[in-house]
Structure 1
Amino acid sequence: MVKSTPEPVDVHVGSRVRLRRTLLGMSQDKLGKALSLTFQQIQKYERGANRIGSSRLYQLSQILDVPVSFFFDDMPAEVTGKSSGMSEGGKQSFEVGQLSRRETLELVRAYYKIKDPAVRKKLFEMVKALGNSALTVEGPSA
């Protein structure tokens, strides 16, 4: 039996499932139970080892409270075949891998724990300003 490598689209979709599940603080076991699957099956989906069918993708979108298109957002150029890599204005687009870092996930969870929307908005604006000033002072980091 020959083990084939997962398709890049399946790997990307699986990583988006993992990203959203983790942002919600949901375990693989809990997601599996919601889908009547084992956590091992969820692991295979998240690695891209098993392809997610359209009806299952729809179920995931309902459980994870995102549109189906979320799973295809930020797809890298090597997957889509488009040679972009740059966002509007010529700036390097945000790396998808950075979204799944523990630091990023903890920051997002902490941000949404702030109950006052005005405070949340001010914090958001401050972080945006700091990020933009870092780009102009130091240049884009690699």
Structure 2
Amino acid sequence: MNSRETCEHEGSFSPDGFFMNKKPDVIDVELGLRIRLRREELSITQDVLAEKLRIRPQELEKYECGFEKISASRLLHVSEILDVPIMFFFKSGSDEALPSKEALAGFRFAKHHKAVLRTALSGIVDKRLRAKILAVVQSSESDSER
């Protein structure tokens, strides 16, 4: 392992020597660690993975150390190169931490209905009527949370 493949989070400088105002986010550090561990498991160097991603090795190092956030599209490309599903980078001790398909469907359903309601309310000219409808919706929302 070369010297640039170690991450130091104690200091206030990034790997390329620039001053950092804050420590990296713990999620970015965990994500980077999973990338690094899988890369090393496959015996792929930073230089090789960086070349396949069409980025500089220094940028890959920043991802692996959590100093720089990785985009979703780049993470998808990393998962393809490292031959793991993208969720590999997000799994915790158990898969139960991941949202179920039903929960995701419910979230999309709720977002859709909120958009429809917002559009419908904006079409009501009478302010008092609009306020009453909104109050009814909000009270039913509170009831369902109990």
TM value normalised by structure 2:
0.49
1:9 matches 2:12: no
Deviation at 1:11, TM superposition (A): 0.3
Structure 2 residue aligned with 1:55: 73
Structure 2 residue aligned with 1:132: none
Structure 1 residue aligned with 2:84: 66
Q: Highest Rg: 1 or 2? A: 2
Q: Which deviations, in whole Å up to 9, do the C-alpha atoms of 1:119-142 show, x marking residues without a partner?
A: xxxxxxxxxxxxxxxxxxxxxxxx
Structure 2 residue aligned with 1:20: 38
Structure 2 residue aligned with 1:111: none
Q: Map of 1:62-101 to 2, 5 A cutoff?
A: 62-74=80-92
Structure 2 residue aligned with 1:44: 62
| Matched position secondary structure for 2:83 | coil
Deviation at 1:2, TM superposition (A): 5.3
Aligned residues: 76
Sequence identity of aligned pairs in percent? 42
Runs of 4+ aligned structure 1 residues displaced above 6 Å come to none
Structure 1 residue aligned with 2:140: none
Distance 1:12 1:48 in 2: 7
The structure with higher relative contact order (CA 8 Å, sep 6+) is 1
- Note the residue ranges of structure 2 that are not aligned, 5 or more in a row: 1-18, 98-146
- Note the residue ranges of structure 1 that are not aligned, 5 or more in a row: 81-142
| Matched position secondary structure for 1:56 | helix
TM value normalised by structure 1:
0.50
What code does the residue aligned with 1:24 have? L
Q: Map of 1:100-119 to 2, 5 A cutoff?
A: none
Deviation at 1:74, TM superposition (A): 2.8
